[in-house]
Amino acid sequence: MRVVLVAGTTETAEVPGISAAGADPELMRHTPGADLDIVAHGELVLAPVVPVSPSGCPTPAVVTRAARELLGFDAVCVDAGIAGRTGAPALAVGDAPGADVRERAAVPGAEETYERARELGAALPDDRLVIGETIPGGTTTALGVLRALGEEPSVSSSLPENPLELKREVVAEGLDESGLAPGDAAGDPVRAVAAVGDPVLAAVAGLTAGAVESGTRVTLAGGTQLAAAAALVRHAGVDAPLTLATTSFVAADDSAEIAGLADSLDVELVVTDPEFEAVDHPAMDAYVAGEAKEGVGMGGALSLVEESSASMVELRERIVDVYDRLLAGRDHPALSGSTTEASNAAESGR
């Protein structure tokens, strides 16, 4: 089993108010590289800043890293076209960030990225892949792809009040600019991604198609973005069993309607609740408040904890460790009362 994190960028994230995967649009471009650093190394290596939402909630990479430290699973990073820097080794399947979906072509290299990822998915030696994503703005492109394919159009958000109306407007403009009506790209996943998707969707869909075709079991680890990838795989004619592992926070989000979407795509849905309400900690409070929900493979990481002999209590303790280590000594309003412990962790080089 191996966790695969697919990282990329879309200029769609720069639409004001559309994403919270970073404190502001300038910092958001560093989010994918930082997420890879955190999952691969447990700290920043070449990325400049720990991603936090505008209100200070740290990236779900903290949860995935905590699960990785607890369970010891391998993680491999796939670069579908990131803009910022990372110290995480990666397999490249794409060279360029995606354009704003309102451009005529959102992902000019969609076909090449899909094919390179598909070949990689078929070649990786693992019996099971758990595939997650990190791409700010990705729920809007997911909405775009679902609409282009003619599938259920609800999507989740990293923002407390889902700016669904804004996403719908952006997607409608993108489809229009690409000369597509909803459903026009049914059966043609590469066309859907090229017109209104993002490079990560091309890569996740390709990896998944290649993996299942070679007999590898795939768990898509995430919310609506991974559901959109599942839709792309289905529209590529792949009818092998697929699992979507997401968080209880996505499942509880009415606007996402993830269960209905999974059902319509014949995808098994696994929902895991990390019971964050049991503690009061800045790494977890935002999820309980409905502000943060999913990302960076978090839903899959939680399901791996659930499958293991480890407990959610241990996971939450490890989340606190990772959080303290990442934010130790940084000027961050959410950090309080744990300076000594955090300094020790940093000095131990972990």
Contact positions toward a copy of itself, by CB under 8 A?
A: 41-43, 45-46, 76-78, 87-92, 119-120, 123-127, 349-350
Contacts of 202 (CB under 8 A, 6+ apart): 80, 94, 107, 109, 110, 111, 113, 114, 117, 190, 193
Give 143-185 as a 3 state SS string.
HHHHHHHCCCCCCCCCCCCCCHHHHHHHHHHHHHHCCCCCCCC
- The smaller minimum CB distance to a copy of itself, of residues 45 and 186, is found at 45
State in angstroms the smallest separation of the CB of 335 from a copy of itself.
20
Does residue 4 sit in helix, strand or coil?
strand
Q: Are 64 and 73 in contact (CB under 8 A)?
A: no
Q: Which residue has the tokens 């394919």?
A: 149
Report d(CA 130, CA 299) in Å as an integer: 10
- The smaller minimum CB distance to a copy of itself, of residues 44 and 142, is found at 44
State in angstroms the smallest separation of the CB of 46 from a copy of itself.
6
State in angstroms the smallest separation of the CB of 141 from a copy of itself.
24
- The smaller minimum CB distance to a copy of itself, of residues 111 and 126, is found at 126
- The smaller minimum CB distance to a copy of itself, of residues 139 and 216, is found at 216
State in angstroms the smallest separation of the CB of 123 from a copy of itself.
5
Q: Are 147 and 153 in contact (CB under 8 A)?
A: yes
State in angstroms the smallest separation of the CB of 47 from a copy of itself.
10
State in angstroms the smallest separation of the CB of 17 from a copy of itself.
34
- The smaller minimum CB distance to a copy of itself, of residues 214 and 311, is found at 214
Interhelix angle 189-196/164-177, nearest 10 degrees: 110
Q: Which spans in 124-276 are helix H?
A: 138-149, 164-177, 189-196, 199-213, 224-235, 248-251, 258-264
- The smaller minimum CB distance to a copy of itself, of residues 89 and 290, is found at 89
